[in-house]
Amino acid sequence: MRFVPTHCITTGMKLGENLYNERGDLMLSRNEIITQDYMASIQRLQYNGLYIDDEISNDLEVINLINNEVKIETIKIIKNTFIQCEQKNKRKNNGIIKKDMKLLRMQIENIVDEIFNKKELMVNMVDMKVFDDYTYYHSVNVAVLSIVMGISLGMDRKDLNSLGLSALLHDMGKVFIQKQILNKPGKLSDDEFQEMKKHSQLGYEYIKSSFGIANIVYMGILDHHERYDGTGYPNNIKGCRISIFGRIIAVADVYDALTSDRPYRKGMLPSEAIEYIMGSVATAFDPEIVETFVRKIAPYPIGTCVKLSNGLEGIVMENYEEYSMRPKIRIFADNGKKLDEPYELLLFEKTYLNITVVDII
Ligand SMILES: [Fe+2]
């Protein structure tokens, strides 16, 4: 299968992955043919792109780190937790239902188990994001990316469960921020930004006062906007004074935000977001964490259509942790002309070639 941006999807294409609607219900199954009716739903949901299967990509398999059902279920639980918290906050009743926290913990344990069993894998899948419910999708993505880094850093299951929970709840404080600031489509004014910045402290205080969970979990929530050079918030702490969870969640948070479409900008490609994160080493992020991150996240995920600086075009087949910028590519075309015999090219042997992501070949 290969990833195709939504504006290049046409009727008759065969779906390479299950597709879910905004409620998390299965809308279209893998292998179904996209019809005009489905096109309308895909556009309405504002998917950034879809995996499709065709004759040049049907032998390419992408293994997702967590299966879609687990992901959708977690999104539903975190959404419910946020809504409960919001309603109770309106009634000035501090404390969300303990049942939600129990469910979240169980869900995180499942996710940690699943990722742990695939720990040799890189994150090789473009996330099929829907535009709505950004906060909840984002929370789950940040948890998955944080757990991947935690495993790479050698954390044990207990710490991974705590890290996952901290990441899942990192933006919970946003329920205390006014909706018009939270959902403002444009740039925030200075005053609005000061207000928005309170969410990490508010989330920390709320969760700490409501639940008996490990201190290390709260610290990740409190520190996720601290910067390695001490210019972050709320406490302007720097380096290793920032909790390890805070330093990990900071990288996952920025990566997922950059690769998501927002009301005011298109999401970046994984390769562009990784460049941005590498450019912020030691200012925003801990160098050791970034090193771990770039080894595990494929800048050009399997199934990405690319064009090389010598005019060759193809699809990414495989990625290597040590050479994540230099994947293996199956070449199908040369300067727009289809080749009779496709062939494979190992880019770490051709370091002089630059890669550009293209919509489709
Ligand atoms: Fe945040």
Question: Ligand 1: distance of its center to the CA of 27 in Å?
Answer: 31
Question: Ligand 1: distance of its center to the CA of 85 in Å?
Answer: 17
Question: Ligand 1: distance of its center to the CA of 222 in Å?
Answer: 9
User: In whole angstroms, what is the distance from residue 24 CA to residue 167 CA?
Assistant: 21
H or E element in which residue 333 lies: strand 328-334
Enter the CATH code of domain 2-53: 3.90.105.10
**Residues 95-151 pLDDT 10s:** 556 777 888 999 999 999 999 998 888 898 877 666 567 889 999 999 999 999 999
Stretch 71-96: mean pLDDT:
77
Task: Look at residue 289 in the predicted model and tell me its pLDDT.
Answer: 97
Contact 316, 327 (CB under 8 A): yes
Backbone angles phi, psi at 316, to 5 degrees: -65, 130
Per DSSP, the three-state class of 342 is strand
Question: Ligand 1: distance of its center to the CA of 199 in Å?
Answer: 7
Question: Ligand 1: distance of its center to the CA of 249 in Å?
Answer: 9
User: In whole angstroms, what is the distance from residue 331 CA to residue 354 CA?
Assistant: 14
Contact 57, 303 (CB under 8 A): yes
Q: Which residue has the tokens 């069993």?
A: 117
Q: Which residue has the tokens 């699809």?
A: 315
- CA angle, 105 as apex, 102 and 109 as ends, to 5°? 140
**Residues 12-25 pLDDT 10s:** 999 998 888 877 78
Work out the pLDDT band at 297, boundaries 50, 70, 90.
very high
CA distances from 42 to 56, 82, 140, 262, 264 (A): 23, 26, 22, 17, 21
Task: Look at residue 130 in the predicted model and tell me its pLDDT.
Answer: 63
Task: Quote the tokens at residue 202.
Answer: 């508010």
Question: Ligand 1: distance of its center to the CA of 84 in Å?
Answer: 19
Question: Ligand 1: distance of its center to the CA of 188 in Å?
Answer: 15
Question: Ligand 1: distance of its center to the CA of 18 in Å?
Answer: 30
Question: Ligand 1: distance of its center to the CA of 140 in Å?
Answer: 13
Residue 20 pairs with which residues in a beta bridge?
A: 26
Question: Ligand 1: distance of its center to the CA of 24 in Å?
Answer: 24
What CATH architecture applies to the domain 68-296? Orthogonal Bundle (1.10)
User: In whole angstroms, what is the distance from residue 172 CA to residue 190 CA?
Assistant: 22
Question: Ligand 1: distance of its center to the CA of 172 in Å?
Answer: 8
Work out the pLDDT band at 92, boundaries 50, 70, 90.
low
Question: Ligand 1: distance of its center to the CA of 344 in Å?
Answer: 42
Question: Ligand 1: distance of its center to the CA of 153 in Å?
Answer: 23
Q: Helix axis angle, 134-152 relative to 98-116, nearest 10°?
A: 50
Task: Quote the tokens at residue 329.
Answer: 């590519």
User: In whole angstroms, what is the distance from residue 197 CA to residue 192 CA?
Assistant: 9
pLDDT tops 90 at residue 53: yes
**Residues 307-330 pLDDT 10s:** 999 999 999 999 999 888 999 999
Question: Ligand 1: distance of its center to the CA of 23 in Å?
Answer: 24
User: In whole angstroms, what is the distance from residue 86 CA to residue 175 CA?
Assistant: 6
Residue 315 pairs with which residues in a beta bridge?
A: 305, 330
Question: Ligand 1: distance of its center to the CA of 257 in Å?
Answer: 10
Question: Ligand 1: distance of its center to the CA of 71 in Å?
Answer: 20
User: In whole angstroms, what is the distance from residue 229 CA to residue 67 CA?
Assistant: 37
Q: Which residue has the tokens 């687990």?
A: 70
Stretch 230-250: mean pLDDT:
98
**Residue 133: which region, alpha, beta or left (left: phi > 0; alpha: psi -120 to 50)?**
left
pTM: 0.92
User: In whole angstroms, what is the distance from residue 22 CA to residue 76 CA?
Assistant: 10
* CA-based R_g, the chain, Å: 21
User: In whole angstroms, what is the distance from residue 72 CA to residue 69 CA?
Assistant: 5
User: In whole angstroms, what is the distance from residue 335 CA to residue 355 CA?
Assistant: 14
Question: Ligand 1: distance of its center to the CA of 254 in Å?
Answer: 9
* Pairing mode of beta strands 312-318, 305-308: antiparallel
Question: Ligand 1: distance of its center to the CA of 348 in Å?
Answer: 37
pLDDT tops 60 at residue 33: yes
Question: Ligand 1: distance of its center to the CA of 225 in Å?
Answer: 6
Task: Quote the tokens at residue 207.
Answer: 């969760």
Q: What is the DSSP string of 219-287?
A: HHHHHTT--TTS--SSS---GGGS-HHHHHHHHHHHHHHHTS-BTTBPPPPHHHHHHHHHHTBTTTB-H
Contact 82, 100 (CB under 8 A): no
Q: What is the mean pLDDT of the chain?
A: 90
Contact 321, 344 (CB under 8 A): no
Task: Look at residue 41 in the predicted model and tell me its pLDDT.
Answer: 85
Question: Ligand 1: distance of its center to the CA of 263 in Å?
Answer: 17
